[in-house]
Amino acid sequence: MDHLYTAPHEIERRSFEIITRELGERALDPLEEPVIKRVIHTTADFSFADTLTFAHDAVARGLEALRAGATIVTDTNMALSGISKPALAKLGCTATCFMADPEVAEAARAAGTTRAHASMDRACAIDGPLIIAVGNAPTALLRLCELMDAGRIDPALVIGVPVGFVNVVEAKEELLARTVPAIVARGRKGGSTVATAIVNALLYEITRAGHR
């Protein structure tokens, strides 16, 4: 099986070559292209080339926030765990998730809501540029819309890619009906790995610039 051992950076390079080839003649926006390709790299699912939607200069606003040392809030510890820690450190950014925070759990219990819902209320207290990445809970996205409507939170970018069958499509369309910069995988698909891939694609655009 020796012929099947390949160094990780070489696997990544060849994978992106294959993705580029199989995407064929499709014209991609140069800012959106690295995001779309990294999501396909993470899922082996080319349908994301059709469903990924970029609203209100999402990529430019996201890169700007990362260059300014943004805080990234995820809705799952799984998504948090996949975000590149060396890239965050290089940019002076931080990533956090409030799902295991005892105060958030208590707030959810007291208000009769979910921890995903209470997490978004908690995110309102964060200073500085903010990126919210939702890969799992449509209720997080819905609560975020309410908080934005009420003027209580103003993210530089919302990544809205929850996955599932109930209220997921609706929550994504609610997000896209706002004026916030947003990257959304329309339809049912998405997930924590997709949220992570989008965050990492943006991080790498800055930290790997000139290395590609």
Q: Is 78 in the site for a copy of itself (CB under 8 A)?
A: yes
Q: Indicate which residues carry an active-site annotation.
A: 41
10-29 binders of a copy of itself (CB under 8 A): 11, 14-15, 18-19
64 φ/ψ angles, rounded to the nearest 5 degrees: -60, -45
* Contact between 80 and 87 (Cβ < 8 Å): no
How does 72-82 read in b/e, with b if 16+ C-beta sit within 10 Å?
A: bbbbbebbbeb
- Span of 28-36, 65-73, 168-176, 200-208 interacting with a copy of itself by CB under 8 A: 168-176
Q: CB-wise, 8 or 30, nearer to a copy of itself?
A: 8
Q: Is 121 in the site for a copy of itself (CB under 8 A)?
A: no
SS3 165: coil
- When binding is defined by CB under 8 A, the residue of 34, 49, 59, 82 that contacts a copy of itself is 82
Starting at the edge strand found earlier in the chain, the sheet holding 182-185 runs 52-55, 182-185, 157-160, 130-134, 71-74, 94-97
Give the residues lining the site for a copy of itself (CB under 8 A).
1, 4-8, 11, 14-15, 18-19, 41-45, 76-78, 80-82, 114, 117, 138-139, 142, 145-146, 163-168, 170-171, 174, 187-193, 196
